Chains A and B, each alone.
Chain A
Amino acid sequence: MNLTRLLLIAIFLLQPFLQPFFVEAKTIRIVTTTEDLAAIARDIGGERVSVDFIAKGVQDPHFIDAKPSYLLKLSRADLFVEIGLGLESGWVPTLLSGSRNGRIQPGSPGYVRAADGIALLEIPVGRVDRSAGDVHAEGNPHYWLDPANGKAIALSITEGLLRIDPEGKATYHQNLQRFTERLDAALLRWEAAMKALEGEKVVTYHNSWPYFLKRFGIKAVDYVEPKPGIPPASAHLKQLIERISAEGVKIIVAEPYFDQKVPNFLAEQSGARLVVLPPSVSTGAGIEDYFQLFDHLIELLTTAFKESGVQ
């Protein structure tokens, strides 16, 4: 075997290791934990940024297993955005320290915790311990599901971008303003569409919908999980079935990544309707941005309620 051939083989074998050295043109690289944050970051950053995310919209953001590409993305990131409040606490800290990227560690200019500036719900009172299940000590972390909170998230991301790329100030401010106006207009449309559902009651699988439901005046009377993160036992299910008929609950809401067996059983036994609602933007499943997410959610929910006889 001659030397050139050996060299070619060596380059071929090392190719995955060399990739980071072939860097594309100078753009600000944003990496977010979820697709919702990525969608908003794309709207704010526009042409100046490239946006990547770690958890796909169809994955449960509580549980993500580390892969080499995640470390690679994070090592090259200029800005890192996470939901915070413990949602990603199972995997973000080890990935961040594993990336050895000083620019995006908590406290650095390139680190953004999107929860800042949001009026949080369900901040526990008194001592928090394990007996209550996987309760998030700083408040419920599913705040992106209230579309009005999109504005605060966009503001946090804008501030992060201004810290690391002050030259883009005009662009970022303009994009933020356009995003906010668009969201305000859409909010009016969504609230009008959901008007008929005000005061309705639902049962949700995990306690991930309080922000969404509060925005549209719907009440979650109970959860399929007796405590967050704990699968239901038969006594709880029996109680739930009674409660659903007693309170006139028409809809059971579950995320696509939970096992549908239990909510299906509940729906059959109680006569309520099961609606599977995606809680996140998911480019793989056709929900391309933050606006489409709520268009989609509201369409699914209003249709389901209509079929249950609510006009």
Chain B
Amino acid sequence: MIAFLFWPLLACLILTGMHTYLGIHVIRRGVIFVDLALAQLAALGSTIALLFGYDLHDPATYFFSLGMTFVGAGFFAVSRQRHEVIPQEAIIGVTYAVSAAAALIALDQAPGGAEHIRSLLVGNILTVSSAEVIKTALLYLGVGLAHYLYRKPMIALSFDFEGAVSLAYRVRAWDFFFYVTFGLVVTSSVALGGVLLVFSYLIVPALLSLLFSEKILHRMAIGWGIGLLASLLGLYGSVLWDAPTGASIVCAFGFIFFLTIITQWLRKAALN
């Protein structure tokens, strides 16, 4: 049994590494559902490729889905205002709903791709192939490196927007860079593990780390610990009860999340 879990576990570790970091950005920027919106845009891209008669495994289809993700990235970069009237999270929500609906209409015109589009959004972490895991790892390494090289503007933009503007960073360009790399990551993560799993890896570790520290490096270390714990717990539960693996990991995240929050409440109550 352990042999089966090697690649899924490795995939989980890769997801933990990348998404804890991105999650800290996303939570700080207040765009928590941006991953769902970008994943759905990518799925819409593949559906449009179907309409044009390309097969789902055609490289052209991949570029359609990447293209849609870039359009979304550009739009989110532009939609961020200094003195916002419309919250960006609302724009992201609308983008999600509309791209999901548009994909439904496109599917109705070019039917039959339903189960493939479904697998694009659901994924299956249990049966990931070694090739998928390696490909994803390389991509994340590249994105991680790029973010490390440009860490100053990246961090300024998420954590000190006014400062970034006054330092004369090209805010729109860097925002676009952020969302493009984010879209690249999310599109392949979703294919690996599905929307729910990716959302959990993105939000839960980064959110819980907030309870313990303010410093980015500390938060990343804590988040990685939480991600690792949830992955192990989820995989173990999945084997123990023979439950679908992705859902088990999401529930493990939920278990850790609520346990930590309730413990915090009780501690606060005890202090008062």
Contacts and interface: CB of A to CB of B under 8 A. Distances in A.
Given A100-B3, A134-B112, A68 B242 contact: yes
Nearest to B50: A130
Interface in B105-127: 108, 110-115, 119, 124, 126-127
B114 A229 contact: yes
Q: Determine which residue in B2, B110, B111, B113 has the highest number of CB atoms from chain A within 10 A of its CB, and name it.
A: B111
Which DSSP category, helix, strand, loop or mixed, fits chain B's interface? helix
Nearest to B248: A68
Interface in A67-100: 67-69, 71-72, 75, 90, 94-95, 97-100
Interface in B224-245: 238-240, 242-245
A168 interface: no
Interface in A29-55: none
Contacts of B127: 66, 71, 94-95, 97-98
A66 B111 contact: no
B244 A66 contact: yes
A95 B4 CA distance: 11
Interface size bracket, B side: 20 to 34
A72 B126 contact: no
A131 interface: yes
B115 A129 contact: no
A233 B239 CA distance: 41
Contacts of B50: 130
Given A67-B242, A94-B127, A19 B1 contact: yes
Nearest to A68: B239
Contact of A229 (B1, B111, B244): B111
B129 interface: yes
B126 A68 contact: yes
Contacts of B244: 65-67
Contacts of B112: 130-135, 227, 229-230
A129 B53 contact: yes
B110 A131 contact: yes
A22 interface: no
A82 to B, nearest CB: 16
Contacts of B129: 94, 97-98
A16 B240 contact: yes
A17 B2 contact: yes
B245 A17 contact: no
Contacts of B115: 62-63, 90, 134, 229
Contacts of B110: 130-131
Interface size bracket, A side: 20 to 34
Interface string A1-37: 0000000000000001101100000000000000000
Contacts of A227: 111-112
Given A17-B1, A130-B50, A68 B245 contact: yes
Given A71-B4, A133-B112, A227-B111, A66 B239 contact: no
Contacts of A229: 111-112, 114-115
A256 B247 CA distance: 25
A62 B4 CA distance: 24
Contacts of A62: 115
B126 A69 contact: no
B231 to A, nearest CB: 14
Interface in B130-159: none
Given A63-B115, A67-B242, A72 B1 contact: yes
A75 B3 CA distance: 10
A227 B110 CA distance: 11
B113 to A, nearest CB: 6
Contacts of B114: 134, 229-230
Given A63-B115, A67-B244, A69-B242, 20 more contacts: A16-B1, A16-B239, A17-B1, A65-B244, A66-B126, A67-B243, A68-B1, A68-B245, A75-B4, A94-B127, A97-B127, A100-B3, A130-B50, A132-B112, A133-B111, A134-B114, A135-B112, A229-B115, A230-B108, A230-B111
16 contacts: A17-B1, A17-B239, A19-B1, A67-B244, A68-B126, A68-B242, A90-B119, A94-B124, A129-B53, A130-B112, A130-B113, A131-B112, A227-B112, A230-B108, A230-B111, A230-B112
Q: Which 7 A-B pairs have the closest CB atoms?
A: A94-B127, A130-B112, A98-B127, A69-B242, A17-B1, A66-B126, A230-B111
